[in-house]
Amino acid sequence: MTIDEAVERKAAHDNQQQVLLCELQYAHQVILAAAAIMTPGQKLLWAAANKSRGVPGEGASRFHERAVAIFNATGEC
């Protein structure tokens, strides 16, 4: 692999990481919006559905886990 090929591969990798981070940030906003319009009962059902699917984490929306991942990637929430 040449240096130019390595640089191109690194740029493509970095771009993909940015795309994934952006999607995580969008998902975070969508989930917050959905949670804001749910009743407490709906949130309990959501949490139970996640648990039955083996999704780990606290609460129905994994807010804290996502917020930490976003913070680790960007330095901000």
Angstrom distance (rounded) from CA 49 to CA 64:
18
Question: Structurally, how many domains does the chain consist of?
Answer: 1
State the pLDDT at residue 57. 86
Which range, 1-10, 23-32, 59-68, is most confident?
A: 23-32
Q: What is the DSSP-derived secondary structure letter of residue 39?
A: -
Angstrom distance (rounded) from CA 20 to CA 55:
20
pLDDT per residue over 28-77, tens digit each? Answer: 999 999 999 999 999 999 999 999 999 998 888 999 999 999 999 998 86
C-alpha closest to that of 31 among 56, 62, 57: 62
pTM score, two decimals? 0.78
Q: Is 38 helix (H, G, I), strand (E, B) or coil?
A: coil
Domain that holds residue 32: 3-74
Q: Which tokens go with 4?
A: 């130019």
State the pLDDT at residue 15. 83
State the pLDDT at residue 59. 83
